[in-house]
Structure 1
């Protein structure tokens, strides 16, 4: 009978990278593992984030018992505010993960109404018919866990994101022993991270970057700018250790990296010696060879600290000839154009730019397991059923093949978002689908769901109209050749002077921008759009679609 089968229902993360969310159901009890988001492709105009469609959870809200988080990356916790606005359920996570979650929920005014329950490795807890043991795993973030879930039909293991690092910088190694114990007792199904299935061999330890970074610190004669993902606490820790060794004071620039490092310091993951840190305003008080600037913006985000510093538009972070900039991160697919644009600007400043170009020595290592680590864990657990998770379909398919090649699993099953996988002690098979997909969110003054991007834009234009600031820029000199024009369609100005004032706002933005910014159309369009949007909203309380147009001569 159906009620005697365990159901595994992925709602996100199987068929794409990001937006990880998976439901496990036994009769009238549902637990949810992770609640992630993904960032939109460039064609999704006006969309800030993309989250999983949780129609299935909303329809069965009386059955949902809680959300369990494996770690604190955005692709695993970023969708929480959206989901919790629809479902008021407890959220379980490790200490560090919940510290990230608290800031996110406070920003969305959901902290007071949400029950946060701290979990820890090796400490079992029970939700309905499920007994869950978090197992310590290593990743590019600290305090990450896999989940061993005892269900009425057997043990399910969900790895979360992982790699097998037996000597991480915080000393909290991957818990191979507990995985082996579960393997001895018997595992019904393994859900394993597929992200790096294309990579043979093993993923290097976090320590592997230290020799090359040590060399960079030794050779750098002027200021050293170091950029990594704000959540890469291990990398920040290594940079701080090297700064102390090489007698450099450290300034932290950029909101996300400031917040992450403060949380890590509060929870004991960063032990910062007295006198090492300085305020960004003190950077010029020290000789260039005695300063390290930790700076956010490693993916070339248009308004990040590094992007602004690259075009000499940051109050404290000034990059000059001879300075060194290290980008200690991978290039996330889709961000190549933004990152190489920033690198171009840095090269124009005559800075020495070091990024993950495959040259000698590592400045970045992945946080995900390569093929041999995936095989090792499969051999330890010896599951009856294997389900690859996290990745595009090609990754899931390749991962299933890798798993079958180990020769220790009974069956590898490929499922995608919305598939219902029914499992008994003897068999696992797909049986039907639930509603699944992507929900586009525009997080302006209110969090608006973008049900269909085309309909949304049509509605937007029909209600508030469209404003086209037209700017003429000389491609060679970067100079603005004539006064900006502001053309409107479907937007009625409140008074005759509004359009003229709007033109002045655009002119002021252009005057306050460097020639490099003007030559970078992506940056200058965003600056004009933001300033004009703020002015129009303040003066009309309306939000027309603003699309800057640059005429190149």
Structure 2
């Protein structure tokens, strides 16, 4: 180990599942690994997407040598258009990744009309020279093709960021993880391992993706009506196995959901998926075939509000109307945090009369993340000097740390971190650096905003107790009321005594204005503040609720 200080700064992915983003910094130069997002929780009302707070990078655009994407999932790739737009596409660094990840990135950037950014396909094993960094992508197996670990080498040593992985010995595409290269890196010396912690709580080994296909065919053979399979749109190998099972049973296949159609087209163009001639039918043609001849592959396995399956469950889909006798197969498990939305969708499907099959009923899903024995295998192959568990909530990071200790890693060399806390490594060892700004940026429509945005607080207040709007018209000369106040309310939960309450509020407004006139308060801002305080107190006294109070003062 020689040279200066190497910093590894997670901006997302620690203490959470999603929005993965890691900054590797050396000699005042930067490589960014992954630009992920996550989907909003129920409390984040009206928010569309949640991005990592990348404020740290805004003033250092010229220092960024490269952005490297480990694979094409949204929690690793999805924030790329916003990151590039905010950092400025004119000075944008080149973006590297596997062919499928880069094809998905091109599609995203096209949607956002972002051009003139260099996106470069990188074959496994090829080294990219980027300033003081040598960057190598190492083939891994996951639930999407072209998944890679990233080895970043500097004068200080090699940092290995695993990305999402499992050690599947019988992957659908016949390409297992490059364990020999991982072992070579371990022999040469890995300074720091940043490892996937998603399934650190599951003992044993994860089941092979190849085992899902026969189970799907077995489940399909028992279904008499239409079959709707929902899975991640990016799980191209799963789509292939659904298609194979449908073909074996003489069924046609319809792809429903924009991302499903888009990803299957990208997968076909890159040779990751093969569809038998004539098996695909358009969603509008579904009703032209008998129920027993159709399989529909749909988005919506996580209960996403606008997804195809969610709309079907609410009888709100333009082309597919579910009915009794349909079988819905959930070929995915809920991401932590999505359980409520998934259960709600399943309940709606039962109400329609569908038969629902989940992983609790049949082994129709295999996780793309390794279980405990695979995490130990990664640790033993690479024999890192230091370990920084990533990609997991704090419980899973803690469990991953215990696994590292169990295979002989010194407890003092295992760092359980959090977003915004950099790990600094040099010839003296490893230690935490000073915390930097991190957290969340919200996407609302096409705009991105400050995580402290008061709009969220206001939305929560509106959803709880509603809003009162009071319009008071006063004399410019003496501040007295010259017309009866107007009172408008929306979403206020009471309201049998509405008429009576409005009259009382008007009286309270008049009293407040009289008091202000007596105190010679003339400034509109001060009047509105006094009206707000008086009305809020009055409404709470009457209703024991705190609706938003919005006073408007008009001078005439």
Bin of the TM-score, shorter chain as denominator length: 0.7 to 0.9
Of residues 402-411 and 203-212 in structure 1, the stretch that sits farther from structure 2 once superposed is 402-411
Partners of 1:300 and 1:339 within 8 A in 2: yes
Partner of 1:397: 398
Structure-2 separation of matches of 1:490 and 1:315 = 42
Partner of 1:498: none
* 1:208-247 equivalent positions in 2, closer than 5 A: 208-247=211-250
How far the C-alpha of 1:212 sits from its partner, in A, is 2.1
Structure-1 separation of matches of 2:438 and 2:279 = 49
How far the C-alpha of 1:230 sits from its partner, in A, is 0.7
Task: Check 1:189–1:282 CA distance in 2 against 1; reply closer, same or farther (3 A cut).
Answer: same
* 1:106-505 equivalent positions in 2, closer than 5 A: 106-110=110-114, 112-357=115-360, 359=361, 361-408=362-409, 411-442=413-444, 444=445, 446-454=446-454, 458=458, 489=469
Corresponding residue SS for 2:22: strand
Structure-2 separation of matches of 1:466 and 1:43 = 12
The two structures, once aligned, show a CA RMSD in angstroms of 2.6
Partners of 1:35 and 1:80 within 8 A in 2: yes
Partner of 1:30: 30
Instruction: Report whether the alignment pairs 1:103 with 2:114.
Output: no
Of the three residues 92, 98, 107, the one matched with 1:94 is 98
Structure-2 separation of matches of 1:315 and 1:16 = 35
Corresponding residue SS for 1:14: coil
Corresponding residue SS for 1:181: helix
Partners of 1:9 and 1:24 within 8 A in 2: yes
Structure-1 separation of matches of 2:456 and 2:396 = 33
Partner of 1:542: none
TM-score for the superposition, normalised by structure 2: 0.80
Corresponding residue SS for 2:284: helix
Partners of 2:44 and 2:456 within 8 A in 1: no
Task: Check 1:335–1:408 CA distance in 2 against 1; reply closer, same or farther (3 A cut).
Answer: closer
Unaligned runs of 5+ in 1: 471-486, 492-546, 548-553
Corresponding residue SS for 1:414: coil
Task: Check 1:337–1:431 CA distance in 2 against 1; reply closer, same or farther (3 A cut).
Answer: closer
Partners of 1:38 and 1:49 within 8 A in 2: yes
Partners of 2:308 and 2:317 within 8 A in 1: yes
Structure-2 separation of matches of 1:415 and 1:312 = 45
Deviation per residue, 1:319-362 (Å, 9 max, x gap): 222221101111122322222222122212221110122x3x41
Structure-2 separation of matches of 1:2 and 1:242 = 55
Partner of 2:482: none
Structure-2 separation of matches of 1:273 and 1:452 = 51
Unaligned runs of 5+ in 2: 472-547, 549-556
Structure-2 separation of matches of 1:415 and 1:467 = 35
Corresponding residue SS for 1:250: strand
Partners of 2:166 and 2:369 within 8 A in 1: yes
Structure-2 separation of matches of 1:148 and 1:139 = 17
Partners of 1:301 and 1:338 within 8 A in 2: yes
Deviation per residue, 1:64-103 (Å, 9 max, x gap): 1121010111111111122111222221111100111112
Partners of 1:188 and 1:425 within 8 A in 2: no
Q: Between Structure 1 and Structure 2, how many residues are aligned?
A: 469
Structure-1 separation of matches of 2:248 and 2:470 = 62
How far the C-alpha of 1:466 sits from its partner, in A, is 8.3
Corresponding residue SS for 2:295: strand
Structure-2 separation of matches of 1:312 and 1:16 = 33
Structure-1 separation of matches of 2:443 and 2:323 = 39
Partner of 1:61: 61
Structure-2 separation of matches of 1:466 and 1:211 = 50
Partners of 1:133 and 1:149 within 8 A in 2: yes
Structure-2 separation of matches of 1:94 and 1:146 = 11
Deviation per residue, 1:106-154 (Å, 9 max, x gap): 12221x1311111121111111111111100011111100011221111
Task: Check 1:122–1:291 CA distance in 2 against 1; reply closer, same or farther (3 A cut).
Answer: same
Task: Check 1:24–1:467 CA distance in 2 against 1; reply closer, same or farther (3 A cut).
Answer: closer
How far the C-alpha of 1:429 sits from its partner, in A, is 0.9
Partners of 2:386 and 2:413 within 8 A in 1: yes
Structure-2 separation of matches of 1:433 and 1:457 = 26
How far the C-alpha of 1:46 sits from its partner, in A, is 2.5
How far the C-alpha of 1:304 sits from its partner, in A, is 2.1
Corresponding residue SS for 2:117: coil
* 1:520-535 equivalent positions in 2, closer than 5 A: none
Corresponding residue SS for 1:419: coil
